[in-house]
Structure 1
Amino acid sequence: MHACDFFTCVYVCTREPSPTEMSVEPWASPQDQAAAEHTYRPHSLPSQDQERYPDKQCLDSFWNEVETIQQGSGEADLDHSRRDSRQSEDGDQEEQWLTDAGLSTLISDDGEDVDKAVLLSTLTRAQAQAVQRRLESYTLSRRKKNKTPPRDVRDIFGSDISPTLLPESQSSEDLSMASVAKSPLSAMTLEHQRGATKEEFLITDIAYCEQAVIFLKQAKFPQNNTQHKKEDGSLPRVICPKCRLGVTRIQDLSHADMKKVRQLALIDMTALCDILEVDVKRHKSGKRKIPESTLFGVPLATMLENDQKLKSNTLIPLFLQKLLSFLEKKGMDSEGILRIPGSQSRIKVLQQNLEANFYTERFSWDDVGANDAAALLKKFIRDLPEPLLTAEYLNTFSAVRDITELRQKLHMLNLLILLLPEPNRNTLKALLEFLSKVISRERKNRMNLWAVATIMAPNLFLHKSVPSRLTDGPEKGQVEKAADIMRLLIRYQDLLWTIPNFLVSQVRRLNENSSRRYQFYDRRFKNLLKKIQPETREKPEKIKSEMRRSVKVQVGELVSGSLEFHLNIHSRTVDLLEQFQRQYLRSPANGKGKMRRNGSVVFPDCALYEVGGNIGEHCLDPDTHLLDLYNSNPTGEWIIRVKSYGGRAP
């Protein structure tokens, strides 16, 4: 029996959201709400067209930035990167992709069949097809090189994954379509698209690649084509369904679980690109000589490692923190901030002084001009040895411009954000938060979303180490497309920094299947499949009414012990934390607050963590419905701890 048999269970995982998973009430991030309010105030913008399209000043600013970047890029660097790109053929990219996706055992003889079962059992059909295509490409390329033939892809998948793996009356698209159709928000989505209100709903319970299959299938019907409106350049308010298990942000999961999220996100992103016919060929940057510098041209990871010796909990370079803080205090109201270039001679002197004196704390920011500081910010990003968006994914970020549907653009960007290394992702978030603050002061600095996006896009999407097609083609069209990606990153950043529900569910299933490895040594795959189905007999019956749950308390040296909490269908994390505050922190007998100089009392910021069972560690959203959480992970522990910076427990 071949490993393709594992995919007979794929579609049963793609199901309609149950009442325990989704509420009909939507949620929008604070960033999106603020942006929506900004968008809907006509008097806050000079004209409506300036929100929809870049003006001539924006276009000129874009090409000025491109010229500055090209002047700082040596032709030798570009030639080297092109040579390196040509050398990364012959199956190397596929091999690296399989390794990054956690599927390297598929091309080696070291992995047990049980390992393949655990890895493949969580994939949807479209995800599995993406894996199969990479295996086939790897096999063909290895044969061309006349090396020892690797294992044939049919030894792993048996045969092509086709709809016959499921009963003819039950295809993946049908099941997924039913899920979307029965979702309370699907009808609302279409209604808003037809009406005047500019709102878009982002469903994250179903794999993004499966959603693309559904909507491409729907687009083939003539009656659905009339729903697509001509893009007018304005951005709608994007709302996600409120999941009863809460919102999971990137910083909420343990490092071990985030590694699995990245592997699954890579598979889903690749499958989505295959379906949308987006080129995802990853570039492998060559080795570059690192300059003898402490700030500019230093790899992010190296700089962060050095800075963490000075400040252990820092997530972005200390220099960038100081630079952004200075700009927020002194540059927010400067007209044309980011657009007006600083003096090149002053910037050069500033850079030299910073390199020599920043870490000795002898550098003074008092005489630094706002425009010079903004120029230093852009130079810091450009001078990184590798792009902030990484050499592997820079061109994929750029390719998002060619996707027509906003929903699918956001799907792609969400997955790409998850794939970024942690230092890059945190640095990008700090930059986007700063840019959002700049836009919020538009009435004074004259920098709207288009203006900021057209200026910053070249600094993020052009890099001397990676060949780019960003500036190919008609000038105006390329500027709009490049800046549009930047607009989406700025406007929807809080939504993009969340982990979609389907990935959290896949991580839970992956952990469940891994914990049952001792059951998997039966090599008869049909029996094995029955054991990894979600409807296993061993799963406890769901609790639908009420129960009591014991919660551990580990609040440093202040409090330790346990707390009894009464669960019902309405119980949320915030309710449990309020009970903990009353019983342990604020009670007259056990008060644990710290007195401030002004006489006020401050209490530790605590959070509820889900630990063990089918998750490593998960900092829970305050709106998580706890009875639903218990049914999703009955063997996990609940622990109250002091919330650490970044969300993870200390």
Structure 2
Amino acid sequence: SLSTRNCPCKMSQLPPKSPLASLVSDGTNSRIESLDNLSMDSFWLEVENIKQSAEAEQEECSLADVKTQEEGEAEAEWLQDAGLSDLLGDRASENDNIVLLSTLTKTQAAAVQRRLDTYSRSRRRKNKHPVRDVRDIFGVVSSEETAAEKEESRPDQLWHNLRTSNVQRKTQDYSCTVRNPGKEEVFNMDIAYSEQAAVLLKGSSFLPESRRLKDGNALTKFKIPKGRLGVTRIGDLSAQDMKKIPTLALIELTALCDVLGFELKRNKAAKLKTTEKRLFGVPLNTLLENDQKLLPNTKVPLLLQALLSCLEKRGLETEGILRVSGSQTRIKSLEQKLEREFYTGLFRWDEVHQNDVSGLLKRFIRELPAPLLTAEYLPAFAAVQNIPDLKQRLQALNLLILILPEPNRNTLKALLEFLSKVVARENNNKMNLWNVSTVMAPNLFMHKGLPNKIPEGKEKQLAEGAADVVRMMIHYQDLLWTVSSFLVAQVRKLNESNSKRYQFCDKRIKNLLRKIHADKDKVEKNQAEPSKIVKVHASLLLKDSLEVHLNNATRVADVLRQFQKNLCQNGWNIVNTVNLLKCNNSMECTNLLLYEVGGNIGEHCLDPDTYLLDLYHINPHAEWIIKQNPSYPRML
């Protein structure tokens, strides 16, 4: 059991305990010293408000005891989450999921191999029969020498020592420079992040920042270069394909952390008591299940949509919105009233003060049974602050966003979009990017369900680091909600491998992991055709398909314009037939989208700048279908 003193629900100490301390690097101080001149008053004021709110309700903790994982246990859980649970059994070849191995890069395969080796060693030790202690025969050896040898022989300690020495060596080798905030930098998503990091480290050309810029306008601008296949956003892939992304992203994140010398730590989900409430303190999945009975296809809880909508209408220009707290008594009363009246439609939002609404918003986030960033990966989000380079911090965040369950990811995106709107009205509400980040960080990174400790003297550093992570998520959210091209390519390979039903022999698994990158070094000789005539379907719009002549310059946008032009020239009234858009010979096709369906992909909404002949060579067996652009207007 946990005492009141150690219970984060009470928040009896300032600063309170939070998962911000999950990874503390000695090199972090130098990178965020520039934030010293920037007030953290908003952060600590928010912490005090959270503390008072918790004490007023006299909440009781219902946390499960956190048990120390034995050697190999963490690796086993990682392999399961990475979709490689078949490697844990004695007959791994019987499971088709092992085809995932065939899609891995060199660094990803190395990450899998490390964890498999650690798991295998621990398993052999557990299965080994105990032998008589040598000290019973030859006496006692020097305790200091034995302890040192034992410590060095532990695999986890070996990895820790290796990582620590690597980090120290790399930090000494790198020159500390500051990025030019006015310059737009390329954010490459074609090559796996871990492979990019390995190349940079090998060449000693990695240039971490010596400080972090606190001015939102001075943040480095990144541009994702559009390749011939365009850019894929979260939401462009089918649910079937998106299910494959989290496992691939987890493997890539682990490989990236291995290359950088950081350990990827995770929590176990704490078991909390169930609640009789319908809105606050209810799991996201349960909220969405209830909401979808009222409004099918709801992706963000209706209550959160209502809170954000109310604030957008009446609170964006309110000075100190989010920072100035409403009355705790009124907020608690409003929560109870919402529980009774929200789903009946009787609740009057126009009668609620906007500061109370912002208090309800933050309370909704804090009261979730599990953190919005998930209990498992909250330490990883907090640890991002320890990565020296901004671009690599964003790479890690991008992968973490992809790992999140869909309800958490959609809810987080809705929140970040609102916070971005608050920042955009800075001249009126006096809330700049850093102010918003410092206020929201405690609500995202402190959770009553996770017992954690903050090392003495690290409070300010960890608070600033958490606020910096929130700031990055707000400012770079468009980049973070992009599915990297290399992950899409891996999904295609995974689909192809599954269709061929690869069978692997258990004895060949390690050889496969070590040699898995061999084929990737070979240049694929593509029998590229200079032109091609294909059929584009629009079954919901027309009975006949459209024949399109493709060449190296044909893009998706060109096909959509050609489609609309043909409709207009043939006099089809598409407003009356499909309620699509009015045909006025304007050549606009903003309501039309082209989808790639089948072949080595489930369904893929194509970027307008995708070159179709290149896509045809990548996936010649797919169908191309024109559909209306689905709209998801904010409800309430």
CA contact (8 A) 2:595 2:603 kept: yes
**Paired AA for residue 574 in structure 1:** A
Distance 1:228 1:369, change over 3 A: closer
What do the CA deviations read for 1:549-584 (whole angstroms, capped 9, x no partner)?
1112222xx423311001111111111111122223
Q: Which residue of 2 aligns with 1:579?
A: 562
Q: Which residue of 1 aligns with 2:151?
A: none
* Separation in structure 2 between the aligned mates of residue 203 and residue 531 of structure 1, nearest angstrom: 20
Q: What is the deviation of 1:629?
A: 0.6
Distance 1:128 1:113, change over 3 A: farther
1:548 is aligned, of 533, 547, 554, to 533
CA contact (8 A) 1:201 1:239 kept: yes
**Paired AA for residue 448 in structure 2:** K
Secondary structure of residue in 2 paired with 1:561: coil
Q: Which residue of 2 aligns with 1:635?
A: 621
**Paired AA for residue 101 in structure 1:** A
Equivalent residue runs for 1:532-543 within 5 Å: 533=519, 541-543=527-529
Q: What is the deviation of 1:119?
A: 2.0
Secondary structure of residue in 2 paired with 1:338: coil
1:256 is aligned, of 231, 240, 243, to 240
1:458 is aligned, of 442, 462, 469, to 442
Q: What is the deviation of 1:138?
A: 1.9
**Paired AA for residue 272 in structure 1:** L
Q: Which residue of 2 aligns with 1:392?
A: 376
Aligned: 1:235 with 2:216? no
What do the CA deviations read for 1:104-159 (whole angstroms, capped 9, x no partner)?
1111134327847622121112111111121122223334545899xxxxxxxxxx
* Separation in structure 2 between the aligned mates of residue 369 and residue 461 of structure 1, nearest angstrom: 26
Equivalent residue runs for 1:200-211 within 5 Å: 200-211=185-196
* Separation in structure 2 between the aligned mates of residue 362 and residue 596 of structure 1, nearest angstrom: 36
Deviates more, 1:513-522 or 1:458-467: 513-522
Secondary structure of residue in 2 paired with 1:593: helix
Aligned length: 544
* Separation in structure 1 between the aligned mates of residue 630 and residue 129 of structure 2, nearest angstrom: 51
Q: Which residue of 2 aligns with 1:590?
A: 572
Equivalent residue runs for 1:201-600 within 5 Å: 201-219=186-204, 224=205, 230-233=211-214, 234-468=218-452, 473-517=457-501, 533=519, 541-543=527-529, 545-555=530-540, 558-584=541-567, 586-587=568-569, 589-594=571-576
Secondary structure of residue in 1 paired with 2:324: coil
Q: Which residue of 2 aligns with 1:91?
A: 72
2:123 is aligned, of 142, 152, 177, to 142
**Paired AA for residue 211 in structure 1:** Q
Distance 1:605 1:477, change over 3 A: same
What do the CA deviations read for 1:262-317 (whole angstroms, capped 9, x no partner)?
11100010111222232322111222112111110000010001101100021100
* Separation in structure 1 between the aligned mates of residue 358 and residue 382 of structure 2, nearest angstrom: 24
* Separation in structure 1 between the aligned mates of residue 212 and residue 478 of structure 2, nearest angstrom: 23
**Paired AA for residue 66 in structure 2:** D
CA contact (8 A) 1:433 1:490 kept: yes
* Separation in structure 1 between the aligned mates of residue 516 and residue 349 of structure 2, nearest angstrom: 66
Distance 1:108 1:337, change over 3 A: same
Q: What is the deviation of 1:59?
A: 1.1
* Separation in structure 2 between the aligned mates of residue 498 and residue 560 of structure 1, nearest angstrom: 34
* Separation in structure 2 between the aligned mates of residue 567 and residue 593 of structure 1, nearest angstrom: 29
* Separation in structure 1 between the aligned mates of residue 327 and residue 435 of structure 2, nearest angstrom: 21
Equivalent residue runs for 1:79-228 within 5 Å: 80-81=63-64, 83-86=65-68, 88-112=69-93, 115=96, 118-146=99-127, 197-219=182-204, 224=205
Distance 1:532 1:121, change over 3 A: farther
Q: What is the deviation of 1:226?
A: 7.6
Aligned-residue sequence identity (percent) comes to: 52
Equivalent residue runs for 1:596-611 within 5 Å: 605-611=591-597
* Separation in structure 2 between the aligned mates of residue 54 and residue 366 of structure 1, nearest angstrom: 40
Q: What is the deviation of 1:636?
A: 1.5
CA contact (8 A) 2:84 2:98 kept: no
Secondary structure of residue in 2 paired with 1:560: coil
Distance 1:469 1:211, change over 3 A: farther
Q: What is the deviation of 1:508?
A: 1.4
CA contact (8 A) 1:85 1:284 kept: no
Distance 1:594 1:303, change over 3 A: same
Distance 1:369 1:195, change over 3 A: closer
Q: What is the deviation of 1:512?
A: 2.0
* Separation in structure 2 between the aligned mates of residue 495 and residue 625 of structure 1, nearest angstrom: 21
Distance 1:596 1:283, change over 3 A: closer
Q: What is the deviation of 1:478?
A: 2.7
* Separation in structure 2 between the aligned mates of residue 364 and residue 76 of structure 1, nearest angstrom: 29
Deviates more, 1:226-235 or 1:93-102: 226-235
**Paired AA for residue 59 in structure 1:** M
**Paired AA for residue 362 in structure 2:** K
What do the CA deviations read for 1:477-536 (whole angstroms, capped 9, x no partner)?
333211110110000000000001111111112222222237989999999999994699
**Paired AA for residue 613 in structure 2:** L
What do the CA deviations read for 1:406-427 (whole angstroms, capped 9, x no partner)?
0110000000000000000000
**Paired AA for residue 117 in structure 2:** E
Distance 1:468 1:398, change over 3 A: farther
Aligned: 1:623 with 2:609? yes
* Separation in structure 1 between the aligned mates of residue 126 and residue 206 of structure 2, nearest angstrom: 46
**Paired AA for residue 375 in structure 1:** G
Q: What is the deviation of 1:469?
A: 5.4
* Separation in structure 2 between the aligned mates of residue 286 and residue 519 of structure 1, nearest angstrom: 38
**Paired AA for residue 628 in structure 1:** D
* Separation in structure 2 between the aligned mates of residue 513 and residue 539 of structure 1, nearest angstrom: 19
Q: CA RMSD in A?
A: 3.6
CA contact (8 A) 2:385 2:466 kept: yes
Question: TM-score, structure 2 length as denominator?
Answer: 0.78
Structure 1's unaligned 5+ residue stretches are: 1-51, 150-189
CA contact (8 A) 1:595 1:601 kept: no
* Separation in structure 2 between the aligned mates of residue 92 and residue 226 of structure 1, nearest angstrom: 36
CA contact (8 A) 1:283 1:391 kept: yes
* Separation in structure 2 between the aligned mates of residue 549 and residue 148 of structure 1, nearest angstrom: 66
Q: What is the deviation of 1:64?
A: 2.1
**Paired AA for residue 267 in structure 2:** H
